[in-house]
Structure 1
Amino acid sequence: MGQGASSGRMDLSQRNPEEDTKHTGETHKTPAASCPTCRLAVRVAVSLAAVILVTGLVLTLALLAMRTAAAETDQTAKSSGQELRKHRQQCQEDYRDLNLVLHTVTQDSRCRVCPERWFWWKGHCYFFSVGLEENLQWNKSAEFCQRHSSSLAVITDRSEMEFIQGVMRTFPQLPFLWVGLTDSKEEGRWLWRDGAEIQHYMPAKVEWDGEDRDCADLRGGGSLFAADCEAYGPWACKRES
């Protein structure tokens, strides 16, 4: 009986896997079969995370560097602007002080570089007859200047022209000034009192030229006009200081 029972039992060690499959209808998958795929996915994920982390770190450092550079540049610009404003303010103060000294010196008769009632400018003295002398003809005004060791003004550059124009603007009733320019020696050939051609010092042209207009006067805007030498008007003398 013991043998029958023994023979009636199924030896589990001798079970056919195919039979188990038939009974269950499916095969059992083992975890070991999917391990290589899992490890690859983990590696890819870790790599991507590392790339993202490094990229983020680089971008953060770059942004920080840009902000630092911008702050330094802004600070440098502010410092430069402050220094420039201080320098400009100092120059303006020095200019005012210099003007005050020059004014004081020129008003002191012991230090005056120009005769009384004459203006000093860039190494020369200028006399403007407006309000000081009666109007004269061109030749008579030239004689007046000669008596005072000077000549009718010869204008040698634009800055001198602007200076004389500035003085003229202080006299609202001053339409023109006789200056040292004439074509009395040769019609149409305008010469300054020092013998130089009109174009020698700067581009210039005498308007309204004509046979009966041999003397030039200076008007607003730096314009030169031919006029009758017998006409009466104010004048400007010039001499070295």
Structure 2
Amino acid sequence: MGIILYVTCPYIDCLEGYWKLSASLRNYLPDSDLVTTTTASYKTCMILCLMTDGCCFISYIASSSECVRHRKMLNYTPQTSSSVWNLMKDDGCPCGWYRVQTTCLIFPNVYLTRDESLVYCQRMDATLAEIINDEKYQFIVGIAKVKTEITDLWLGGSDISNEGTWLWNSGLPITGFTKWSSSAPDNYGKNTNNADCLYMGSWIDFYWDDCGCAEIKSPLCEKPSL
């Protein structure tokens, strides 16, 4: 099957699947544990990715014709003339992301502050995850327990604006469905008012807790499925 470029939208039909351009990662190069080679175009790079076991997305540096094939999203660094293309799955999520309900989730193996995590997710056209029902919570816990490298996950909630009033980043109040650990939120045992950010931790069986926003944890990013 040939490769068809749809000029009016950032998608490309290519062999077994289709690809989506990550506009927010333009001129950034994700870290990679896969091979870098030179190809005539990003379309050729896509074909090589499909032929490479575990390859989920590509970076293509136009100025040097460099094709980088990636297994998973780690961190990223500025790189002039680089574009990132994600291989999309049938469930409407990029390869490497997990579909639950109407959203796609990714568990990147990086460790950042909460503010850094917000930017990290935004680079993938995503936000820190908001958990508003038990089905989504149980799905996340199930994956987190399998991924043994994960200890703590940033979620998209805080009481930064008003101490004691917990809100999701979308502005929704964190009420109704919650999974706080037995004493949380408690501002580090009420010893400080600076535990303003929400996370879920393996040490409390992935229940929720509050902590300082400058602590280092893994971002749990989400975005709508297609």
Relative to the length of structure 1, the TM-score reads 0.50
**Amino acid paired to 2:120:** F
Instruction: Kindly report structure 1 stretches of 4+ aligned residues shifted beyond 6 Å.
Output: 104-108
Does 2:217 correspond to 1:233? yes
1:207 maps onto 2:185 in alignment: yes
**Structure 1 residue 222 displacement after superposition:** 4.4
- Determine which of 161, 165, 180 is the counterpart of 2:156: 180
Question: 1:163: Cα distance to partner?
Answer: 0.4
How far apart in 2 are the matches of 1:162 and 1:110? 22
Number of equivalenced pairs: 134
Tell me, yes or no, if structure 1 residue 128 matches structure 2 residue 107.
yes
More helix per residue: 1
Unaligned runs of at least 5 residues, structure 1: 1-103
Instruction: Classify 1:160/1:109 alpha carbon distance in 2 versus 1 (closer, same or farther; 3 Å).
Output: closer
Query: Which residue type is aligned with residue 198 of structure 2?
Result: A
- What are the within-5 Å matches in structure 2 for residues 67-146 of structure 1? 109=88, 111=90, 113-130=92-109, 134-146=110-122
- In structure 2, how many angstroms separate the alpha carbons of the residues matched to 1:175 and 1:153? 16
Instruction: State the identity as a percent.
Output: 24
Report the counterpart of residue 143 of structure 2 in structure 1.
167
Please, what TM-score do these two structures have when normalized by structure 2?
0.53
Rate the CA distance shift 1:156–1:110 in 2: closer, same or farther, 3 A. Answer: closer
Determine which structure has more spread, i.e. the larger CA radius of gyration. Answer: 1
List gaps (5 residues or longer) in structure 2: 1-15, 19-55, 57-86
| Residue in structure 2 matched with residue 36 of structure 1 by the alignment | none
Deviations 1:7-60 (A, max 9, x none): xxxxxxxxxxxxxxxxxxxxxxxxxxxxxxxxxxxxxxxxxxxxxxxxxxxxxx
- Which has more strand, going by share of residues? 2
Deviations 1:60-118 (A, max 9, x none): xxxxxxxxxxxxxxxxxxxxxxxxxxxxxxxxxxxxxxxxxxxx989875746212321
